[in-house]
Structure 1
């Protein structure tokens, strides 16, 4: 496999190295996403990364962020990707560019524009599909020329370009053809640096198709203490080596303990995902399968990486700097190191949950031994070589809980301009730099002590502080004698000096410099995240209220129809934000609506009938039933008035079959509303027959009318088969005065297929167990239901409910994004702005309204982190014209799993508060039908 796509590429890949401009480098690469960080802070974040030793960033380019509507491109302000790449080059950071078309990244639709979902004929996403590739070509035609202008060798620092993302999670029908098509587009647009494609679950073939010129990389997200992790990584390293390629890990966990384990297995690119956290501004959040299974991604995008969304460097940042200094100390010798052989050394002593030793052979001679402790307790042991050598020569070395050590063996000191070698050390070398007049080698060891053996033949004299030095035949054995930092200064022939420093790990972690005289300058950072609180930050709040369920005043009309079945919002040109549905249901005379059934609905539905709030739901693209009380038709208004407020939280960034809304191609809005006038529990009295007694055709037509077939509850037959396969059948008569029938298989587990009057109505989905049987039913006549049920013994068959009702019709649909919401806030404020209020405030269930305030900057000019205390409320927070937070506070059965960051706080960036008074608007929705929504406090914490 070719390791690059053009002979002029300055990036060369070999089994043992990544070479840039002829020099081998290990890429320590942090995710840094321009679209989640204010433009004014891009350079600050890059310089923070540089200060922590990182030499590379990876960055996605979200297609739908730059093309919010088809044909409308935006590369201004925070979307100025070209400026971002220019700043990266100025800061001396290499760039792994990831233009998709699909990026995942917990971003709305994985960055695939929602207008693709409205195309007819339907486009097959992420496939070798002409319709999809035609659209991708337009995106690539815009973004790839930007990447070309900023690639290495042409004045920029882009060294790798990734095509798509983790395709092996998706099940692409022809990955080779698809990836080849993307490759051809990249080459046609002048991309000369290597093209890569990452495997998300180890499916190299499924992720890349092994397409010529597409370099496989790996994403690993293990348990950091998985005892078999190195073995897995070494497997992929060997497989890629056979292709003439290095192991590059484009995504992994953020813990540098794990990065050290990856390094020990020969990884040349270490890519912890999201080391720099951020914010999903606007309506860019995603939904995905990180919940039960549905989850909503918070606006705060923070997995605990080493730099917080506000720009605070966390403790892990200094672990990164320590590792980076080690990489820099060994330089190209480590960057081009080969793995193993690992069996040359073994451990003796308490090696429980100790991983290693694993070895890397440095280019030019010598080795590094890697040891990681996965235990919660320290471990003490010795290392023994096959040739009889021992480290240490006597006694043991100690590895702290969750600790890691990288130990030099037979490493030539010529790497740092000194004759001789490091024979071995029980301490980790993290600082090795030639300076004017000599060289400094700084080691750290977590426990007291530390033993270093040096082979030096040009020593004139030496002096030692806090260390014992034993000299024998030009071999210097150095031992730190206590907890104090040890310093040994060797004066060499020619007047140069070699200084060896041994300190504890904490000093090494926070060392700013090590001088030739052995002095460590140590500055321990202040990690206190809880700074002085300001309960109000001087904000004077006013409140305006809107009428329950009514659309925002400035919402735009997007659809009006008499049909009972609706198009998804994407086909109405609505790709994000809110939509408001108004409809009427003609209830048969003498009946009431017991509830409302809403089908194919997502993401957030707040339902009102006859002006009364019925609840807020998150059905995940499926069907939801909402019971009603005292919901009567209003003949003078054409029936039962129904309103639904729908919010698109975000299109799924993943593809999961467990819920309709978790499919990558899933659409938003709702398909139909049914006013339910009758609810029948039909769980009892089904005829049962073993499926083995019937052919497939017989099973479909089986009505179990023979008297000898047992009559039992649905799924109630007790079998001695641990995997029963049974057919259940029932006949019933439908109501004559309704027009919709839906079956609900509550709490069904197992595999079930429904037949209605002998016609296959499809599989019953356990996570969305509603089946609309209307097409197979004649009002007032009998209907035959047959279910083939396959499950493990003990799995629930649940209950079977039949909902009968009438379709709502005469729909009017309106929609709005940020501008419409803000305009409505202004209109409502002009009509109903109350006097200044104090928190806490309470809102009736289903109520909506606005909080209006102005806020200044924090004293340091870096903005605020605002923590929200309350229950039963959903908040959409605007700072001036930008949504900075979408929050859903605890309370109410409809609240989904919130994940990906803080669900009860938002960040107000300092650069966006440079006005004398910035407008802060909060759209409030009371979403718990059982209790009032309460906003207790807004706690402003200065950044």
Structure 2
């Protein structure tokens, strides 16, 4: 579904990114064009999605989750089928990939190895190099560093191929050398070679490395040192019940103090799922086992300790087609990630989105906050960490028990109402948060905030109390909640049911608040807030028209109730188009939204596929209808062994009619 909205003004595009000048950093965060940026990144493997036409879809799903960066491995062996031969066309077109990242509005963390792990064959090394058994890969022999001029020559050749293809793209903000590299004697020769080689070939952005062990490996060699953390890797049983499940991640304070005194605390691989081995429980079971709770716990635990660069590995699942996968993993590399292998969004996606949208709305607060002990909790065991930036407080509440817990928080004369934290989950409570001339303290969860001159929109979700303190008396213009006003203080107690608006004016500003039961159907699209869609597709600005195409609603059976869709815009709305046709929409000028009453989605009937054709997995070009395809009689088994394909994979092709 496509919706086009006309506005009375040309908006600033929140979906766009600035072309960075040289990326700066300090102990707090990255600075791009002088602006503090909290990096919310997710990993995507283009080589596990052998359809470039779908790359934009996955990148957009990362963007729609409130993320500003994508983490990209560049797989040496995928681009080099033979010694001295390199392919950057078609499925391997990294220029197209990086251009799509810029188009969607994502910065890039480039990770070209040479070794990448990623559960790919040879850890990313080309097959021809693996066959040269006398060349010690990564300059390692039995765990110790060894000099290998031949390996370094091959690594140089790879960097000389990939780096010139990266340099024209100004949205690359970090460049990683190697991956989780370690040798027993901590000899820096190999890592120093890669660092200087990258600089020699023109890399200007900060160079990073990720330390699996949190032991400071190469922290004195790279510009920004970071770590990896996967809190839950044993998934055959439920991790809930283990009160020490976050123990490894709780060490980030120590990492900062020892290794990050001049650079931001960074997690270059933060758990986004886990891989399933051949004898594993399957990705649906992994996703259920991890749940939303794992995503909330690992991300908030990192942010509570001052992390300002994090990247979820993986964010979008993929497929180990042909011979890409390493022996321990099977064909699917869904990873239990927020975005399914097939492209759908999961509950884990929704949890990641709610966190990233909040952090993205208050980046400076999160980036410049410092640990403090000013916050008091009725339940001291529930308060994990507290941070302060100016007069604003962030209270991180973590419940590692099987029962819901409740507390009231106080800080510097500011008090919340009761705050409830669900079992095995985590959240942040914001106290005395500035919003123009007002200050907001919320016991319910904050999702996002938007501002345009003297107009302000804040979005909250879940039950709880919100308090606004303003410097002048306020006048209520809309009250769906039942607010109370005492002088310059306005208090709303939201019961967590339905969409409700509160609008008031004070001191020349208009404050709009939207309360939602949950954050799952709320989406920031540029300067708009879309509410009621299960996903929002592409957006673009053309003249005075902003298109919001393809609202992808949840599948509904015939006869289901119609769906209400709202689009909030602080600058006003006056026209709407759906599927390029003018449609009726009602405007609420006080609350500041346009409302669509959507028809029920038609019942979806899958077409019949057939006849089937099959061939051993290799690479086929678009439109190749002939070579190697074998027509299967109707009803014949599609099992590879029965078809005589005993190694590798198989391609299957069938046709259908209809839309």
> Structure 2-normalised TM-score?
0.72
Separation of aligned partners in 2, 1:111 and 1:529: 43
Partner of 1:366: 392
Partner of 2:321: 281
> CA offset at residue 129 of structure 1?
2.5
Partner of 1:451: 465
Instruction: Tell me which of 446, 451, 470 is aligned to 1:434.
Output: 451
Does the 8 A contact of 1:32 with 1:57 survive in 2? yes
Separation of aligned partners in 2, 1:818 and 1:524: 35
Instruction: Tell me which of 371, 377, 381 is aligned to 2:407.
Output: 381
Separation of aligned partners in 2, 1:187 and 1:519: 42
Partner of 2:597: none
Query: What do you get for the CA RMSD once the two structures are aligned?
Result: 3.7
Separation of aligned partners in 1, 2:270 and 2:628: 48
Partner of 1:461: 475
Deviations 1:868-902 (A, max 9, x none): xxxxxx6754337xxxxxxxxxxxxxxxxxxxxxx
> How has the CA–CA distance of structure 1 residues 376 and 217 changed in structure 2, closer, same or farther, with 3 Å as cutoff?
same
Partner of 1:409: 431
Deviations 1:634-671 (A, max 9, x none): xxxxxxxxxxxxxxxxxxxxxxxxxxxxxxxxxxxxxx
> CA offset at residue 99 of structure 1?
0.5
Higher relative contact order (CA 8 A, sep 6+): 2
> How has the CA–CA distance of structure 1 residues 409 and 132 changed in structure 2, closer, same or farther, with 3 Å as cutoff?
same
Does the 8 A contact of 2:611 with 2:633 survive in 1? no
> CA offset at residue 261 of structure 1?
2.0
* Larger gyration radius, structure 1 or structure 2: 1
Superposed, 1:743-762 pairs within 5 Å as none
Aligned residues: 534
> How has the CA–CA distance of structure 1 residues 118 and 371 changed in structure 2, closer, same or farther, with 3 Å as cutoff?
same
> CA offset at residue 337 of structure 1?
2.0
Partner of 1:510: 521
> CA offset at residue 47 of structure 1?
1.9
Does the 8 A contact of 1:369 with 1:407 survive in 2? yes
Does the 8 A contact of 1:183 with 1:214 survive in 2? no
Does the 8 A contact of 1:489 with 1:500 survive in 2? yes
Partner of 1:164: 178
Does the 8 A contact of 2:471 with 2:488 survive in 1? yes
Partner of 2:153: 134
> CA offset at residue 468 of structure 1?
4.4
Deviations 1:135-177 (A, max 9, x none): 1111111111112222xxxxx2100000000013xx3544422
Partner of 2:8: none
Helix, strand or coil for the counterpart of 1:160? strand
Deviations 1:647-705 (A, max 9, x none): xxxxxxxxxxxxxxxxxxxxxxxxxxxxxxxxxxxxxxxxxxxxxxxxxxxxxxxxxxx
Partner of 2:513: 500
Does the 8 A contact of 2:474 with 2:488 survive in 1? no
Q: What are structure 2's unaligned runs of at least 5 residues?
A: 1-19, 141-146, 233-238, 273-293, 536-552, 558-602, 621-625
Partner of 2:247: 228
**436-445 vs 133-142, greater mean Cα deviation:** 436-445
> How has the CA–CA distance of structure 1 residues 182 and 497 changed in structure 2, closer, same or farther, with 3 Å as cutoff?
same
> How has the CA–CA distance of structure 1 residues 25 and 488 changed in structure 2, closer, same or farther, with 3 Å as cutoff?
same
> CA offset at residue 71 of structure 1?
0.9
Separation of aligned partners in 1, 2:132 and 2:163: 24
> How has the CA–CA distance of structure 1 residues 382 and 90 changed in structure 2, closer, same or farther, with 3 Å as cutoff?
same
> CA offset at residue 281 of structure 1?
2.2
Partner of 1:391: 416
> How has the CA–CA distance of structure 1 residues 136 and 426 changed in structure 2, closer, same or farther, with 3 Å as cutoff?
same
Separation of aligned partners in 2, 1:842 and 1:60: 32
Separation of aligned partners in 1, 2:209 and 2:126: 21
Superposed, 1:881-920 pairs within 5 Å as none
Partner of 2:60: 47
Matched, 1:15 2:27: yes
Instruction: Tell me which of 98, 105, 111 is aligned to 2:118.
Output: 105
Matched, 1:192 2:184: no
Separation of aligned partners in 1, 2:608 and 2:204: 54
Separation of aligned partners in 2, 1:273 and 1:60: 11
Does the 8 A contact of 1:345 with 1:357 survive in 2? no
Does the 8 A contact of 2:614 with 2:629 survive in 1? no
Instruction: Tell me which of 337, 342, 357 is aligned to 1:305.
Output: 337
> How has the CA–CA distance of structure 1 residues 400 and 842 changed in structure 2, closer, same or farther, with 3 Å as cutoff?
closer
Does the 8 A contact of 1:264 with 1:339 survive in 2? no
> How has the CA–CA distance of structure 1 residues 71 and 241 changed in structure 2, closer, same or farther, with 3 Å as cutoff?
closer
Separation of aligned partners in 2, 1:542 and 1:145: 39
Does the 8 A contact of 1:36 with 1:279 survive in 2? yes
Separation of aligned partners in 2, 1:230 and 1:371: 15
Does the 8 A contact of 1:67 with 1:73 survive in 2? yes
> How has the CA–CA distance of structure 1 residues 311 and 124 changed in structure 2, closer, same or farther, with 3 Å as cutoff?
closer
Partner of 1:326: 358
Helix, strand or coil for the counterpart of 2:203? coil
Partner of 1:338: 369
Separation of aligned partners in 2, 1:535 and 1:497: 52
> CA offset at residue 269 of structure 1?
1.2
Helix, strand or coil for the counterpart of 2:459? strand
Helix, strand or coil for the counterpart of 1:410? strand
Separation of aligned partners in 1, 2:604 and 2:445: 39
Separation of aligned partners in 2, 1:542 and 1:513: 43
> How has the CA–CA distance of structure 1 residues 71 and 541 changed in structure 2, closer, same or farther, with 3 Å as cutoff?
closer
Partner of 1:661: none
> How has the CA–CA distance of structure 1 residues 67 and 875 changed in structure 2, closer, same or farther, with 3 Å as cutoff?
closer
Matched, 1:879 2:658: no
Separation of aligned partners in 1, 2:325 and 2:76: 14
Instruction: Tell me which of 538, 541, 559 is aligned to 2:610.
Output: 538
Superposed, 1:592-631 pairs within 5 Å as none
Superposed, 1:714-733 pairs within 5 Å as none
Partner of 1:348: 378
Instruction: Tell me which of 33, 38, 44 is aligned to 2:45.
Output: 33
Instruction: Tell me which of 95, 120, 139 is aligned to 2:108.
Output: 95
Matched, 1:836 2:608: no
Separation of aligned partners in 1, 2:155 and 2:639: 48
Q: What are structure 1's unaligned runs of at least 5 residues?
A: 1-7, 151-155, 288-295, 544-551, 553-576, 578-816, 820-824, 852-873, 881-907, 919-941
Does the 8 A contact of 2:229 with 2:248 survive in 1? no
Helix, strand or coil for the counterpart of 2:59? helix
> How has the CA–CA distance of structure 1 residues 222 and 339 changed in structure 2, closer, same or farther, with 3 Å as cutoff?
farther
> CA offset at residue 178 of structure 1?
1.4
Instruction: Tell me which of 219, 223, 238 is aligned to 2:228.
Output: 219
> CA offset at residue 62 of structure 1?
0.8
Deviations 1:813-860 (A, max 9, x none): xxxx889xxxxx98997xxx9x835245999xxx86448xxxxxxxxx
Deviations 1:777-816 (A, max 9, x none): xxxxxxxxxxxxxxxxxxxxxxxxxxxxxxxxxxxxxxxx
